[in-house]
Structure 1
Amino acid sequence: MYIIVIGAGDIGTPLIDIATQFGNEVVAIERDEKRANQAADQFDCLVLNADATTKETLEDAGAERADALISTTDQDATNVMTCLLAKEFEIPAILSVVHNPEHMGLFKQIGVNTMENPQQLIAEYLYRAVARPAIVDYMRIGENAEVFEIEVTEEAPIAGKTLQEATQEGLITAEMLVVAIEREGDDHPITPRGNTTIKKGDLLTVYSGVGADPEITDIFGHYEDHSQ
């Protein structure tokens, strides 16, 4: 793909790194001269030390043939303006970071895919790692739902039961779904069925419509403080 990345800061830099590693043709636009020079020295891509909110800059970046534009600056106003210009070039995929939640509606109105404040997401992730150490990894979906990974302990009420048995006993509710099972000795994740038995040491990927609360993690043998 031909990808234009706006900003070579804390978000843009690792994005450029990932995109170039996967063999994409990348053009980065960075207004700050020092950051632009650092990106040019670090990555095998074209880096423009310019203002991305001007049509001429996007023309220089080859916007007319770009497959995607991702705006990662720390200013929502800059991101909005850049995305609006990208719309004029009819770039198929336009994405942007949004720092102020109040601005989300504006980005949606102009038809831009968004990622909410990444600093807030990182803060939530770090808090979860402390407050819910049983959770290996997680992703929030909407206001309450989460997809998370959790290991089954020997003391887990669900250990040794099939998913059908766990559902009949009320361990797995209608709000929950075991999506995948990683088991030691198996090269590929197991797609769970009703007759699949959950074993000690299994790493489960679980969807919960009410989140990964302690009442949920108890089912997998992680008895944490319910007051958190």
Structure 2
Amino acid sequence: MYVIIVGAGSIGTPLIELATRQRNNVVVIENDADVAEKAATNYDCLVLNADATVMENLEEAGADEADAIISTTDQDAVNIMVMLLAKELEVPSLVSVVHNPEHMRVFRQIGVNVLENPQHLIAEYLFRAVQRPSVKDFMHIGDEAEVFEITVTEGSPIAGQTLQTAGEMGILGDDVLVVAIERNETVITPRGDVEVRVGDLLTVFSKQGFTPDVMDMFTGSERIESRK
């Protein structure tokens, strides 16, 4: 895949690393000369020390042939200008970071896939890690629903039960679905006769998010609130 990444800062750098490691054809546009030089030294990709809000620079980066462009700067005005120019060049996939939630509508109106306020997401992730220590990862879906990974602990009502039995006993509610079970580095398809064990890492969909009641299904009394 041919990808143009705008910005080689705190967000762009791990993105460059990931894209180059997977052997994509990557071009980076970075306005800061020192940052651009560092990226060129550390990664196997073409780095242009240029202003990505100038059409000629996007054309030099090969935007007319790119599969995607991802803008990661810390200024929404720059990101939106890059997206508008990329749209004019008919880049198929437009992706951008958006720092101010009030600007989300503008990005979406021109067909940009957005990541809202990464600093806020990091803060939320860190707080959830303290508040819900068994939750390994999570993703919002819509206003309330979430998909999350959670480790089954001692004392949880689902431990030792099959998924079918857990459903029949009302342990698993109608709005909660176990999507996958990881055990000893093996992924198990969550069929009804599969028994859930302590230490299993479950991928769970919950329509109501991971509320205290949902957490109790998998961790019993482990939640921090119950330790007071």
Same fold (TM over 0.5): yes
Asked if 1:213 corresponds to 2:182, the answer is no
The corresponding residue for 1:155 is 155
Alignment partner, residue 189 of structure 2: 191
Where does structure 2 lack aligned partners over 5 or more consecutive residues? none
Query: Is the 2:154–2:220 Cα contact (8 Å) retained in structure 1?
Result: no
CA distance in 2, matches of 1:57, 1:221: 53
Question: Using the alignment, how far apart are the partners of 2:126 and 2:220 within structure 1?
Answer: 19
Q: Deviations over 1:38-77 (max 9, x none)?
A: 1111111111111101110001101111111000001111
| Residue identity matched to 2:164 | Q
Residue 59 of structure 2 aligns with an amino acid whose one-letter code is E
For 2:98, the equivalent position in structure 1 comes to 98
TM-score, L = length of structure 2: 0.94
- Which residues of 2 match residues 1-228 of structure 1 at below 5 A? 1-184=1-184, 188-223=186-221, 224-226=223-225
Task: Report SS of the residue matched to 1:189.
Answer: strand
Q: Which runs of 5+ in 1 are unaligned?
A: none
**In 1: Cα distance, 2:153 partner to 2:3 partner:** 44
SS at match of 2:87: helix
Q: Output the CA distance in 1 between the equivalents of 2:12 and 2:132.
A: 30
CA contact (8 A) 1:152 1:221 kept: yes
- Secondary structure (helix, strand or coil) at the match of 1:63 reads coil
Task: State how far apart, in whole Å, the 2-side matches of 1:221 and 1:57 are.
Answer: 53
RMSD: 1.5
Q: Deviations over 1:82-117 (max 9, x none)?
A: 011101111111100100111110011011111111
User: How many pairs does the alignment contain?
Assistant: 226
